[in-house]
Amino acid sequence: MAGRPAAPVQILPPNAVLIPAAVAPQKLGPFELRLMLDDDVRPQLEWLAARGLLKNSFDCPRNRNSTSPCHLATDAVAKNCRRLVNFIRDICAEDVRRNPRQLGGFDNNGQPIVVEIDESYFFRRKFHRGRRVNGLWLFAAIERDSGLCMMEVVPERTAQTLVPLIQQWCLPGTHIISDGWAAYSNLSQLNGGVYLHDVVVHQENFVDPLHPEIHTQNVENLWMRAKRKLRRQFGTTRQLFDTYLREFVWQTVVMDSIEKAHESKDLDLSGAARGVWLVKVPKYLAEEWKNAPPNADVGKLSITKSSTPGGKPEVVFSLDEPSAKATPRGDPTKPAVPKYHKFMLTGIVNQNLYVLATEMSEKVSIEGKVIQRAECRPLGDPSYMKLKRIQIEMSNRPQKEVKQLKHAVNNYKPVAAHSVNIADEKKKKEEGKKSRLDKERVMEMLYSAFEKHQYYNVKDLVQITKQPITYLKEILKESCLYNMKAPHKNMWELKPEFRHYKEPK
């Protein structure tokens, strides 16, 4: 029995829908972007309906029923939502592309900041099963303490590809930690040694037992979170993978920092209308400004208008003569600070940045609104590179420490070498250093071994051939099969075409 048509279902009350005059002055900030990129559909529909981007209510064109049972209406809503979400995702990706974050450098105490780097493959088949997928190689770097990160799709994992990205992302003085990949072998010699570099060999352990701080656990965790989020998106929209990746970086860097700084406190807004520049300066330059006399000039800014329409002006900062001839902390043995610095200007897109000041009483006030963001860099001054090399050397020097002991310390008598260590050293001297033999010679040794037994563990083959395990695995992959199932799991056997013995019937 047909009844009266149901009333349209409204997403919001009619009085909650904004008029165009109220929508026009609004700015799309990070919190609105985070809302639109969320998996929950209801807040997205409410946000769209309130700004007139989606009809607040409409009937089904088939039977005049509400939108709930109408597939045509919900399909139209989903299509509009996807279109707008893709547009907002492009905004996030463009922000990451235009404003790349620089990692590392030195902290406030003059110590190198640790940055972990690694490369990973997106996405390989699970257990070598299913449809073959041509994946992508990604390279990432993450600051250990702050969580700032950068990720990029790379065509290959060679040093020619990865080293320029490291130089672009990591500031001089950075303490880089990586695995034993060959492309990272010369990082400590770049630009005369402006980077510290430590390696953790994953074939041996994931955390160095002698130095527990040497590991890449943070970047491995970054890969886990990225693959968990991007695996579903990669299968259907491969052409949008780059924007999905940059969106992930944007959420990791921008939103995490905003959420940490967002706390409910009383805020003094008396200086909110003042315009300020947010400039990142080297530590030695900040110390010069801090030690300068009150109301004294420390330098001059030279601003040159760009010759191209709409281009950014060129800003150069020059120290005055007393500051330029000064040495860090008044030490005459150290080189003088660079005199000329260039301001790298970056735009502020879809963000409202303010400078906050805190006092001992935990009172928070706004010093001004950031109208320009910049980074102060020296203009390729050789004294700057010399200064950084000296800082790296100073950070590695042991520091004397005096500690008062509250109880007696029992020391054992030192032993020059234990019996186990003596036996290992003697064995190494007798065996000598493992050197690579000719490939054909190694193959003959393998054939001779496999004539005696059909299955071998790689450690047993290393003892038989006396070859490095990496070189031996390269040969085994060409002529042998690796068993991944019981009863001969993790064992090698010859491929059928290389077998010279008769199999038992």
**319-365 pLDDT tens trace:** 876 655 555 545 555 667 788 888 888 878 777 888 888 775 567 78
Specify the pLDDT at position 249: 86
Specify the pLDDT at position 253: 78
Percent of the chain residues topping a pLDDT of 90: 6
**Does residue 400 or residue 233 have the better pLDDT?**
400
| Over residues 393-400, mean pLDDT | 81
Specify the pLDDT at position 136: 83
Which residues is 314 bridged to in the sheet? 304
The per-residue DSSP string of 447-497 comes to HHHHHH-S-B-HHHHHHHH---HHHHHHHHHHHEEE--STTSTT-EEE-GG
**Does residue 360 or residue 292 have the better pLDDT?**
292
**Does residue 21 or residue 328 have the better pLDDT?**
21
Least confident range from 34-38, 194-198, 495-499: namely 34-38
Instruction: List pLDDT tens digits, range 296-313.
Output: 787 888 888 888 887 788
Specify the pLDDT at position 142: 92
Q: What domains, with CATH codes, occur in the chain?
A: 14-98 (no CATH), 103-261 (3.30.420.10), 267-290+298-396 (no CATH), 431-498 (1.10.10.10)
Specify the pLDDT at position 188: 86
Percent of the chain residues topping a pLDDT of 70: 76
pLDDT at 125 over 70: no
Instruction: List pLDDT tens digits, range 200-218.
Output: 887 777 787 778 888 888 8
The per-residue DSSP string of 326-351 comes to --GGG-TTSPPPPSEEEEEEE---S-
CA 195 to CA 55: how far, in whole Å? 56
Specify the pLDDT at position 23: 76
Specify the pLDDT at position 115: 93
Specify the pLDDT at position 143: 92
Say how many Å lie between the first and final Cα of the chain, rounded.
78
pLDDT at 248 over 90: no
Averaged confidence pLDDT in the chain: 77
Instruction: List pLDDT tens digits, range 91-116.
Output: 888 888 888 788 888 888 888 999 99
364-378 and 354-358 beta bridge pairing = antiparallel
pLDDT at 454 over 70: yes
Specify the pLDDT at position 235: 53
Q: How confident is the model at residue 58 (pLDDT cuts 50, 70, 90)?
A: low
The per-residue DSSP string of 105-136 comes to SB-TTSPBPEEEEEEEEE-PPGGG-SS----E
340-346 and 267-268 beta bridge pairing = unpaired
CA 249 to CA 231: how far, in whole Å? 15
Query: Is pTM beyond 0.75 here?
Result: no
Highest-confidence segment of 220-229, 230-239, 492-501: 220-229
